[in-house]
Chains A and B, each alone.
Chain A
Amino acid sequence: MMTLLEIKNLKKYYATQKAVDDISFSIEQGSIFGLLGPNGAGKTTLLRMITGIFYPDSGDIIFNGKKFDPLNDIKEIGYMPEERGLYKKMKIGEQALYLAQLKGLSKAEAEAKVKEWFIKFEMQSWWNKKVEDLSKGMSQKLQFVTTVLHHPKLIILDEPFSGLDPVNANLIKEEIFKLAKAGSTIIFSTHRMEQVEEICDHIILLNKGQKILDGTVNNVKQDFKENIYSIGAHILPENLMTHIFEVIKHQPDKLLIKLLYDTRPNDVLNFFIGQGISINSFNEVMPSLNDIFIKLVEGTDTARQFQKI
């Protein structure tokens, strides 16, 4: 796999805070990359440096094997900011054409692409409508189309599903998978962890301008698992006296336990067999990204204080 984007020791300090403080990571081509972090963690600043809006104070951005050159490389990037960014009074078709042409497409190319995407998303009838007449979900769809229209190598989506109903959210999710399959690399920034688990291959977690987590979704979960298992049985006795696990949650037919010391799952099964209890399910409970996120970020001030540097 080829590396599309490599960030090396990137720093951007503002007068009152270290927005991005020495962050490094790399993204494989064709992967879906989750950029996570609480509000004010530095995600937007980081994305703005990757889109060439801001210049980093120090560090390197390597794009497509070369040093990132904002003037030429922005053609290869599609950026969809979190807040809807469209001209309210402009007709939808014209707007899509305009944004595509700004990305360097010729008028004819832009027209063909816009039509193609409008058909795909069943938006043909919108052409002469104005953005102010659209619902939030509809303008979100339009925004997505304008972001990916010019077939960029790197697509950056900031909360792409906010305000979308499940049907449209699914439509866009499918498109994201298709784009990734076709070779586009996607950076997906969000706070919605269940979407990240579903969509992303690789994630990093930022907090206070620093990277505090980096890995594939599976690896991260493995790293943070706490040896918790759920056990299902017909009838479970009230008191289970043992030192090999501790009961976290007790229901008549279900048990949530945490293994102690170096207990292995088989020891637990042996224990229950010894007790003559018939087990009908035994699963390891993996932590959700949400739990990991909260665990890592909790205790630090999420809305960070302004500090002198």
Chain B
Amino acid sequence: MNKIGLIISREYFTRVKKKSFLLTTILVPLVLIAFYAIIIVIAIKGGSDKQSIAVVDKAGLFTDSSIAANNKNIQLTLINNETEASFINKYKERGYQAFLYIAHIDSGYVLHSQSSVSLTTTSAIEKIINKQIEAKRMQEQGIDPAKYKSIAADVSIDNTIDTKEGGKKSVAGVAYAVSFTCGMLIYMMMIVYGAQVMRGVMEEKTNRIAEVIISSVKPFQLMLGKIIGIGAVGLTQFAIWIILIFGLQMLTPLIFPDLFHQLNSVSQAGGKSSLIATSLQGLSSLPILKIAISFLFYFLAGYLTYASLFAAIGSVVSEDQQEAQQLMFPILMPIILGFVIMTKAINEPNSSLAVFGSLFPLTSPIVMMGRITYEVPAWQLALSAALLIGCFFLFTWLTGKIYRTGILMYGKKPSWKEMMKWAFKKS
């Protein structure tokens, strides 16, 4: 009907025209890109500053030559003619962050420092020492290090999923990332936009504009118009993000032509195939269309289901933010539960918990995203969608009645019992 259209367009345009909308919509992908850029830079340039650590070696584990070849982030220097007690006052002046005292080969390693040393540094030093001990022992036993290397094993497993179209390579890492991102986005958007619906309803109620509008349209039209309008804002935001992210990804090689080259050379230096190449290959092996359609469906249906609940809450509280928080809690619970099940479902997509979570309509929008990159039986998808749509209609019908009564009531917050009574009252 025409009036719902008017309400939708007001809800949509007042939000989209706001400066803050443009700001968050454009800033979020920029922040994401900047975040990736920083990760890449760290990966290329290496992490923190080089640590300079002195070694007082009473056990004679290291020699000058063996100590020189080690970790790029840690510079070990062998100190002669000093004891633990004598060097403890000197290492700071000589420019060392810490010093390692070795009493025996088997035990008695102490790292002296003035502030606590990070776990990475400690484990890096441990690794160096272990390697040195192994080398020393191999020498004592008369084992050729080259021969040992040929004996030591280091395998990795490839998982192949057998489908009707034949076997295809599983790309667990990429699938994991895509699932998690989709689930996370739905989780965030449901809370963010649900809360916007609630705040919008509260605003209308406390401004008493609701009374004016309801003397022109039905309360249900006002509620539905608001929910649809805000949902459209969410979709717009997604659309802008997708365009921006793809646009920036296309532009990145033009702006930083040697970035990928550098990245590839770094990962090739590690002896593995290019990270980017694996990710791209992984992405193309995923059922992108199926994922996109499910994402859109579960976002919309999930949002609509919860938005009506948020609207009902907005309609029963007046002015008091705290009351709203209290009432919001029971609604946030299943959303958060859904998120938790989703993180489990990514690892075990066919566990009974994951299957239940992806069918149960209050958690399915999020949990199904955790399973979507894996093979989900068609009947489960269909059942999950049907349950979600049914739940949406049921909730909207019930909350519409709570909303209708609540929006014109001022004063005391109604109890859950009263709200239930409104919901099931015959109109």
Which A residues contact B (CB, under 8 angstroms)? 48, 51-54, 74, 77, 79-81, 83-90, 98-99, 101-103, 146
Interface size class of B (residues with CB under 8 A): 10 to 19
In the assembled complex, the Cα of A87 lies from the Cα of B208 at a distance in Å of 9
A-B contact list, 21 entries, CB within 8 Å? A48-B211, A52-B215, A53-B211, A53-B214, A53-B408, A74-B216, A79-B212, A80-B212, A84-B208, A85-B210, A85-B211, A85-B212, A86-B212, A87-B204, A98-B6, A98-B10, A99-B213, A102-B6, A102-B213, A102-B216, A103-B216
Chain B residues with CB under 8 A of A89 = 14
Residue from the list A79, A87, A98, A101 in contact with B207, Cβ < 8 A: A87
In the assembled complex, the Cα of A74 lies from the Cα of B219 at a distance in Å of 14
Interface check B217, CB cutoff 8 A: yes
Most chain A CB atoms below 10 A, which of B7, B211, B213: B211
Chain B residues with CB under 8 A of A48 = 211, 408
Chain B residues with CB under 8 A of A103 = 216
In the assembled complex, the Cα of A103 lies from the Cα of B209 at a distance in Å of 14
Chain A residues with CB under 8 A of B3 = 102
Chain A residues with CB under 8 A of B217 = 102
Which partner residue on chain A sits nearest B209 by CB separation? A85
14 further A-B pairs in the complex, CB-CB below 8 A; given A79-B211, A87-B204: A52-B215, A74-B215, A84-B208, A85-B207, A85-B209, A85-B210, A86-B207, A87-B14, A87-B203, A87-B209, A89-B14, A99-B216, A102-B216, A102-B217
Which partner residue on chain B sits nearest A146 by CB separation? B212
Mark B191-207 against chain A: 1 for CB-CB distance below 8 A, else 0. 00000000000011001
Q: How would you classify the secondary structure of chain A's contact residues: helix, strand, loop or mixed?
A: loop
Asked if A86 meets B209 with Cβ closer than 8 Å, knowing A101-B6, A102-B3, A102-B6, the reply is: yes
Chain B residues with CB under 8 A of A74 = 215-216
In the assembled complex, the Cα of A293 lies from the Cα of B7 at a distance in Å of 42
Chain A residues with CB under 8 A of B6 = 98, 101-102
In the assembled complex, the Cα of A88 lies from the Cα of B14 at a distance in Å of 12
Are A79 and B209 in contact, CB atoms less than 8 angstroms apart? no
Most chain B CB atoms below 10 A, which of A52, A80, A101: A101
In the assembled complex, the Cα of A53 lies from the Cα of B10 at a distance in Å of 22
In the assembled complex, the Cα of A220 lies from the Cα of B6 at a distance in Å of 46
Asked if A81 meets B207 with Cβ closer than 8 Å, knowing A90-B14, A101-B6, the reply is: no
Chain A residues with CB under 8 A of B214 = 53
Most chain B CB atoms below 10 A, which of A52, A53, A54, A80: A53
Which partner residue on chain B sits nearest A98 by CB separation? B10
Which chain B residues (185-242) contact chain A, with CB distance < 8 Å?
203-204, 207-217
CB B1 to nearest CB in A, in angstroms, measures: 11
Which partner residue on chain B sits nearest A50 by CB separation? B215
Are B209 and A77 in contact, CB atoms less than 8 angstroms apart? no
Which partner residue on chain B sits nearest A100 by CB separation? B216
Chain A residues with CB under 8 A of B211 = 48, 53, 79, 81, 85
Asked if A81 meets B216 with Cβ closer than 8 Å, knowing A48-B408, A89-B14, A102-B6, the reply is: no
In the assembled complex, the Cα of A51 lies from the Cα of B213 at a distance in Å of 11
Are B209 and A51 in contact, CB atoms less than 8 angstroms apart? no
In the assembled complex, the Cα of A202 lies from the Cα of B10 at a distance in Å of 40
In the assembled complex, the Cα of A53 lies from the Cα of B404 at a distance in Å of 9
Mark B322-350 against chain A: 1 for CB-CB distance below 8 A, else 0. 00000000000000000000000000000
Are B208 and A81 in contact, CB atoms less than 8 angstroms apart? yes
CB B39 to nearest CB in A, in angstroms, measures: 39
